[in-house]
Chain A
Amino acid sequence: MKVIKFFLVGIFFGIVLVKSEAVSWYRIYEMFKFQSFHMYGIIGSAVFLGALFVWLFKVFGVKNIEGNQIYLIPKDSGFIRYIVGGTVFGLGWALAGACPGPLYVLFGTGVISMLIVIAAAVFGTFVYGVLKNKLPH
């Protein structure tokens, strides 16, 4: 059960991303062209409900499965890494039409060439790790 619950959440995640069309290159293009509400509706409603429930969890001190109070680790402070790193990722997101989750899901839909993008993304992460101490954060 320990492992299978993550497996089941993953399957559900893959199905939702395909059925929502959030894995579609075309939907990402359309979003950045501001020509449809679809992606904004997905992300907006997910964030709105997410904020509501995270707040409720805090207010009511909801505990997780391990019996500890639910707590989300705050992001490190900083500005440059978020704006520059975010922009670099945005360039890739709009070109590949996929962010990391969809990269995997799309491979599962049968797009074998996605493995090239995944391999390049692993390499990009590796290069960041090597250059990390030389980059402004």
Chain B
Amino acid sequence: MEYLLKPWPWYVSGPLITLIMLLLIYFGKTFGMSTTLRTLCSIGGAGKYSDFFRFDWKAYRWNLIVVLGAIIGGYIAVNFLSDGSAIALNSQTVADLSQLGFVNAGETLLPAEIYAWDNVLTVKGMAILIIAGFLVGFGTRYAGGCTSGHAITGLSNLQWPSLVAVVGFFIGGLIMTHFLLPIIFGQ
């Protein structure tokens, strides 16, 4: 039980993610979370604006059930399966973040500097969340997948397009982390 409540090491978590992908494949489906964003567009009537959203979204209901489960899984994990231990970040990471004005790095899953309401409800804070979400939604669909569809499933299936997409993920991530975050948050 003690091991269950502590953060799980990578060599436990990684294979469990493989298991999730294999289960979905065994169920005759595939592991791809960004597809649900497209399904949500279709349910919301986006088919009126683009044939990209005119498909039988009911065939993708199973994926929304996975999402519902994932939301509840997140709730269960933080409320019943956590001992509240901080994230064991590299001390250099904590020091770098403190340079950017991020305090208490690793004590929660997300930084209050981005997700706490008093920061969200400023023009800058709201813009950060909206732009971040927009880039995730636009980019994943343009690339045809996200971490689950390309990095995990696509690479497991030895797909060249997925490798190119993952290289793209890193180009974008490195630009944001090394050049843009210091501009956005630096004093």
Contacts and interface: CB of A to CB of B under 8 A. Distances in A.
Contact of B18 (A20, A50, A127): A50
A90 B156 contact: no
B46 A105 contact: no
Nearest to A112: B117
A81 B73 contact: no
Contact of A77 (B69, B105, B153, B161): B161
A59 interface: no
Interface in A96-137: 96-101, 103-111, 113-114, 116-130, 132, 135
Nearest to B170: A90
Interface residues of A, number: 111
B151 A123 contact: no
Contacts of B106: 24, 26
A50 B22 contact: yes
A6 B66 contact: yes
A47 B131 contact: no
Given A21-B7, A24-B87, A88-B142, A105 B168 contact: no
B168 A72 contact: no
Contact of B165 (A16, A86, A107, A127): A86
A13 B74 CA distance: 8
Interface of B: 7-18, 20-30, 33-34, 36-38, 40-41, 44, 46, 49-50, 52-53, 62-63, 65-78, 81-82, 87, 89-90, 92-93, 96-97, 105-106, 109-111, 114-117, 120, 126, 128-148, 150-162, 164-178, 180-181, 184
24 contacts: A6-B27, A9-B23, A14-B70, A29-B97, A29-B177, A32-B170, A32-B177, A41-B14, A50-B18, A54-B157, A72-B153, A83-B167, A85-B168, A86-B171, A90-B139, A91-B139, A92-B132, A105-B70, A105-B73, A108-B73, A113-B116, A128-B142, A130-B52, A135-B142
